[in-house]
Amino acid sequence: MIFMYKKRILTHKEFTLKFLKYLSFLLLIILFSLTIGVVGYKFFAQLNWIDSFYNASMILTGMGPVDDMKNTNAKLFSSLYAIYSGVVFLSSLAIFVTPIVHRLMMRFHIDDES
């Protein structure tokens, strides 16, 4: 037996509110991740706040490191933060695209097919 699940398509206002909810969650994740990077670079690599922010931003967006890490702890932090940032970058893309793809699926009734 196939269970048919019918939902109505959200109005433009409802969709905008849903999209803004996803976007605000995404911004919180990015802010949290950027804070981890800035504090980590400040503490482990002894960079000033601006350089720490610059390095964390570049790593988080996938551009790559800017400053050389001088000690082992800084290199370990930088490596782990780069791995974490890759996961956050891909997850952020998924969070951003999810409501749009869902709306398109609802619009074209792809949700109804098994």
What is the per-residue DSSP string for 70-108? -SHHHHHHHHHHHHHHHHHHHHHHHHHHHHHHHHHHHHT
Distance separating alpha carbons of residues 28 and 65, to the nearest angstrom: 23
Q: Which single residue is written with the structure tokens 């670079």?
A: 41
Stretch 98-107: mean pLDDT:
84
Give dist(CA 110, CA 114) in Å, integer: 9
Tell me what pLDDT residue 65 has: 83
Distance CA 34, CA 58 (A): 10
The 10s digit of each residue's pLDDT in 21-77 is 999 999 999 999 999 999 999 999 999 999 999 999 999 988 888 898 999 999 999
Q: Which residue is associated with the tokens 């980590």?
A: 40
Please tell me what DSSP assigns to residue 1.
-
